[in-house]
Amino acid sequence: MLIRRSGSCCARALRLSTHHHAIPMAVPSPLSSHLKPFSSFCHPFPRGHGFKPFPQFLSSSCSASPFSSLSSVPSPKPDKRFKTPVAAALLEIGGVKIARDDVVRESDPTNNVPDNIFSKIGLQLHRKDNHPIGILKNAIYDYFDTNYPSKFVKFDDLCPIVSVQQICSLQNFDEVLVPADHVSRSYNDTYYVNADTVLRCHTSAHQAELLREGHSHFLVTGDVYRRDSIDSTHYPVFHQMEGVRVFSPDEWKDSGTDATSYAAMDLKICLEGLARHLFGAVEMRWVDTYFPFTDPSFELEIYFQENWMEVLGCGVTEQDILTRNGRKDSVAWAFGLGLERLAMVLFDIPDIRLFWSTDQRFTSQFSEGKLGVKFKPFSKFPPCYKDISFWISDSFTENNLCEVVRGVAGDLVEEVKLMDKFTNKKGMTSQCYRIAYRSMERSLTDEEINQLQWNVREAVQSKLHVTLR
Ligand code: PHE
């Protein structure tokens, strides 16, 4: 058996999309090599609810070897010093025991979980009261405890690995009505442990099981996993909080409105209050959107630092989800928010990698209950840019490239950006990416960067079936 269980049911996962009809067809299928991609969809899902980039945070400084390309760099021998450490062999989350070999299986073509992702499972930043993510979670808890005393049950230790053995396959998608051809199911976007098991890509994965268990008011906080590009606001592991409230018919029958309008109105009042609790008296607006599991669906935006910023995604739960899970006559609302996105703004944290830093100069700046203390950068270390160009194959995707770069350089990679692309007369396509290396904690040496870039080139060539130029 893949995932050993000693506790209650595990987790499921998924993600959103804003324009269902615009999503290209994609059905997961076994991979022919570890990172063999799916095909070449471009960015299917804006990480709407939690994860649009904040341009004001993108680094502008440039020094140490700016825009150099590796062609002028000598070729050092591979150096083990810069390899990402292999994670602890056995974890336990919410009573579920997880071994590394359960999750990372290089020889299995249906598995695309690398070691650096496995090493994040179990860290549970949202359960650390002195960490910005934990502080924010607790502030949201306070809002619900004050406004709905003893109503919302909180879950923050549900296992992020979803096994298939229960009611239907891929509960993680199916149970929240994600269509079979939805691109979020692709190997290019989601971490598969095997063809039927994934690392959850959103906390909505838990909606159905908790409804079945009879909960009517609940908050689920957890780490979620998505394959994606690399920049200062995107990291393949981040944290979400989900909220669900179920109403029974006697709650809306005297309201003079229908059940859906009643739930939508209650949802908006609740979330506007939450936004004020976190951000103070800000201007807000509601934007219509699409999620497979809610109808109508909305995003809440606030006007903050002279920009409209998306705070969360939400909506009235699809009736089918309620009916399938024993709540036929009810109506419900649900929301999901990205904690990093909000914490970056509330604490002035300029780069998403910092959340994972164990450097005391970062960790010591935050303490329990202190929401919105502004982070003081301890120093600004220079970035270093290196370019890599190659002829791509049909199977090339940017997410796969980012995975390989992250696998070699870990958190020293700050951004991977497409700089140039052309197709020659023979139909061969060349792409040039610029990799920004920068440590949050120290200055990197030229030797170290050259070594990293060398290792990146080797890994890109061997794993991605491209021809370096
Ligand atoms: N699960 C959605 C996402 O990850 C967010 C969401 C949750 C939207 C609940 C609506 C209702 O994008």
Q: 8-19 pLDDT, tens per residue? A: 222 222 333 322
Query: In this prediction, what percent of the chain has a pLDDT beyond 90?
Result: 71
Query: From atom 10 of ligand 1, which residue's Cα is the shortest distance away?
Result: 314
Question: Is residue 65 very low, low, confident or very high in pLDDT (cuts 50, 70, 90)?
Answer: very low
CA dihedral 164, 170, 172, 177 (to 10 degrees): -140
Residue nearest (by alpha carbon) to ligand 1 atom 7: 336
Atom of ligand 1 nearest to the CA of 48: 12
Query: pLDDT-derived band of residue 74, with 50, 70 and 90 as boundaries?
Result: very low
Kindly state the DSSP code that residue 206 receives in the 8-state scheme.
G
Q: Is 347 in the pocket of ligand 1 (CB under 6 A)?
A: no
322 neighbors 332 (Cβ within 8 angstroms): yes
| CA dihedral sign of residues 315, 321, 323, 326 | negative
Does ligand 1 lie within 6 Å of residue 16's CB atom? yes
Number of helices (H) and strands (E) in the chain: give both, helices first.
Answer: 12, 18
pLDDT value at 2 more than 80:
no
Q: What residues contact 294, with CB distance under 8 A and at least 6 apart?
A: 314, 315, 316, 317, 318, 333, 334
Name the band, by pLDDT with cuts 50, 70 and 90, for residue 195: confident
Ligand 1 atom with least separation from CA of 203: 1
Q: Which of 87, 59, 8 is nearest to 381 (CA)?
A: 59
User: DSSP string covering 123-185, please?
Assistant: T-GGG-TTSHHHHHHHHHHHHHHHHSTTT-EEE----SEE-S-SSSTTHHHHTTT--TT-GGG
Please compute the mean of the pLDDT values over residues 112-116 and round it to a whole number: 94
The whole-angstrom separation of Cα 441 and Cα 358 is 10
pLDDT for residue 237: 97
Residues 177, 292 contacting (CB under 8 angstroms): yes
How far, in Å, from the CA of 316 to the mean position of ligand 1?
Answer: 11
Nearest to 170 by CA among 336, 6, 14, 327: 14
Atom of ligand 1 at shortest range from CA of 243: 9
Residue nearest to atom 4 of ligand 1 (CA): 15
Give Cβ neighbours of residue 101 (< 8 Å, ≥ 6 apart). Answer: none
List CB contacts of 52: < 8 A, sequence separation 6 or more.
46, 233, 309, 310, 341
Instruction: Tell whether ligand 1 has an atom less than 6 A from the beta carbon of residue 47.
Output: no
By the 8 A CB rule, do 331 and 265 touch?
A: no
State if residue 294 touches ligand 1 by the CB under 6 angstroms criterion: yes
Ligand 1 pocket test, candidate residues 183, 202, 238, most atoms within 8 A of CB:
202
Q: How far is the CA of 270 from the centre of ligand 1 (A)?
A: 16
Mean pLDDT of 178-207: 92
pTM of the model: 0.82
User: What is residue 171's predicted lDDT score, i.e. its pLDDT?
Assistant: 73
What residues contact 369, with CB distance under 8 A and at least 6 apart? 129, 135, 138
Contacts of 331 (CB under 8 A, 6+ apart): 246, 247, 252, 259, 260, 262, 263, 316, 317, 319, 322
Chain-wide mean pLDDT for the chain?
82
Q: Is the CB of 315 under 6 A from ligand 1?
A: yes
Q: Pick the residue whose CA is nearest to atom 12 on ligand 1.
A: 16
The candidate with the shortest Cα–Cα distance to 455, out of 437, 430, 432, 431, is 437
Most confident of 58-62, 88-92, 97-101: 97-101
What 3-state DSSP class applies to 397?
A: coil
**pLDDT of 447 over the 50 cut:** yes
* Angle in degrees, CA 319, 206, 259, rounded to 5: 25
**Mean pLDDT computed over 202-215:** 94
Residue 169 has pLDDT above 80, yes or no: no
Give the Cα separation of 318 and 307 in Å (integer).
31
| pLDDT of 170 | 60
Q: Rounded CA gap, 316 and 191, in Å?
A: 28
The residue among 301, 334, 337 whose CA lies nearest residue 140 is 337
Q: Does the Cβ of 291 fall within 6 Å of ligand 1?
A: yes
> Is residue 285 predicted with pLDDT exceeding 70?
yes
Separation CA 217–CA 151 (nearest Å): 6
| Tally of CA atoms within 13 A in the half-sphere of 247 that contains its CB | 22
Report how far ligand 1's centroid is from the alpha carbon of 209 (Å): 16
Identify the DSSP state of 433: E
Nearest to 125 by CA among 139, 115, 137: 137
Q: What confidence category does residue 23 fall into, taking pLDDT thresholds of 50, 70 and 90? A: very low
- Residue 30 makes CB contacts below 8 A (sequence gap 6+) with 109, 110, 195
Residue 60 and residue 414 in contact, taking contact as beta carbons nearer than 8 Å: no
Protein residue with least CA distance to atom 6, ligand 1: 336
pLDDT computed for residue 88 by the predictor: 59
Share of the chain above pLDDT 70, in %: 79
384-391 and 467-468: which strand pairing?
Answer: antiparallel
